[in-house]
Amino acid sequence: MAGVNLEVYLYFKGNCREAMEFYKSIFGGELHISTVGESPPVPGMPDIDKDWVMHANLEGGDIKLMAADTPKASSRAAKVELSLGGTDEAKMNKIFYGLAAGGVIKMPLEKQFWGDIYGSLSDKFGVDWNMNISQPKKGDSNV
């Protein structure tokens, strides 16, 4: 589907800046943050903390993420899991254990019956992540 991208937008209750700075430390890239106080008043918008993040954008690193603070955010991102895939085992391990810091590893990174290395975790902000590290398959040109 040329010209179509899926972009992830996460919502937090007051700790968006902390979460996005954490993700920047894992994935790299440039982080741009606009606060509620820097934005013009929005009619019908509840009176919320001026330091809350109106919009955050992390891009130029390993992944692109967007996020904001909102009183409507759930305490945990339980309906969606983010899935990371790749072939660079050392880099993927670094990302996995970086995301796991302060969180909970639900399934350690281990070789699976399908031949790849897979694991899952919930990070310290309640965001669930899956990781699949693809292994060369029989018949691949670099095997």
- Asked whether the domain spanning 75-143 has the same topology as the one spanning 1-73, the reply is yes
Instruction: Quote the pTM value.
Output: 0.84
Class of domain 75-143: alpha beta
Question: Taking Cα atoms as reference points, which of 95, 60, 65, 102 lies closest to residue 80?
Answer: 65
Domain ranges in the chain are 1-73, 75-143
Supply angle C-alpha 137, 116, 86, rounded to 5.
90
CATH no. of 1-73:
3.10.180.10
How far separated are the first and last CA of the chain, in Å rounded?
Answer: 30
Q: Beta strands 53-59 and 65-69: pairing type?
A: antiparallel
Q: What is the pLDDT of residues 44-73, one digit of tens each?
A: 666 788 899 999 999 999 999 999 998 888
Distance CA 5, CA 126 (A): 24
Q: What is the pLDDT of residues 16-42, one digit of tens each?
A: 999 999 999 999 999 999 998 888 776
Q: What is the pLDDT of residues 86-114, one digit of tens each?
A: 999 999 999 999 999 999 999 999 999 99
